Chains A and B, each alone.
Chain A
Amino acid sequence: GQSLEQPSEVTAVEGAIVQINCTYQTSGFYGLSWYQQHDGGAPTFLSYNALDGLEETGRFSSFLSRSDSYGYLLLQELQMKDSASYFCAVRDINDYKLSFGAGTTVTVRA
């Protein structure tokens, strides 16, 4: 099975940078994904890392270290619309299921 740990809450001001860490334990790791969910909305895909290193997509970047079983999502130039929950999810090498973390609630203040 899989277990994931991520902080429950983060608060920051507009324009700041936020890093959301995710550590995981899994019997067979394939890749790490990140999803964003606004209150009352559906999760939306942000990024996926299968290999070590940094993936950049606009203001958001995601990093993976397979040897450390660790990844993070970096949110830059924070905007009010970035206030949401962010979930890391791991895919097992043996199937196509995703196991989601409990989520990190990011609150952006003016």
Chain B
Amino acid sequence: DAGVIQSPRHEVTEMGQEVTLRCKPISGHDYLFWYRQTMMRGLELLIYFNNNVPIDDSGMPEDRFSAKMPNASFSTLKIQPSEPRDSAVYFCASSPQGHEQYFGPGTRLTVT
């Protein structure tokens, strides 16, 4: 298996632009998690899905953030409009049962 795939690996955008991050989980994993990592706040869970259904989005910082999982093999995290404080590394992770999570390589987002 190729592992969790994320794209793009790096994204540089201007404030106010829409950003879409993509994730392909490991086949057969029922859980998908989106995290954000910064030096200041560490690794934060934004949202997670079980069988394509959003279960907990309490970590989504504000309405500018949205996430979808239209099928078992694809998920997106969208930021609209983006702001400089959204600059971070965004990780997608998948898991067969929750506690053993497999992380993708991450997307390093820079908003100028």
Contact = CB atoms under 8 A, between A and B. Distances in A.
A33 B103 contact: no
Given A30-B99, A44-B103, A45-B102, A97 B43 contact: no
B contact face: mostly helix, strand, loop, or mixed: strand
Interface in A2-50: 30-31, 33, 41-45, 48, 50
Interface residues of A, number: 21
Interface residues of B, number: 22
In this complex, the member of B42, B43, B103 whose beta carbon has the largest number of chain A beta carbons within 10 angstroms is B43
Contact of A98 (B42, B50, B101, B102): B101
B48 A33 contact: no
Interface of B: 31, 33, 42-43, 45, 48, 50, 55-56, 91, 93, 95, 97-106
**6 residue pairs, one from A and one from B, having the closest CB atoms:** A96-B98, A42-B103, A100-B43, A91-B99, A43-B103, A102-B42
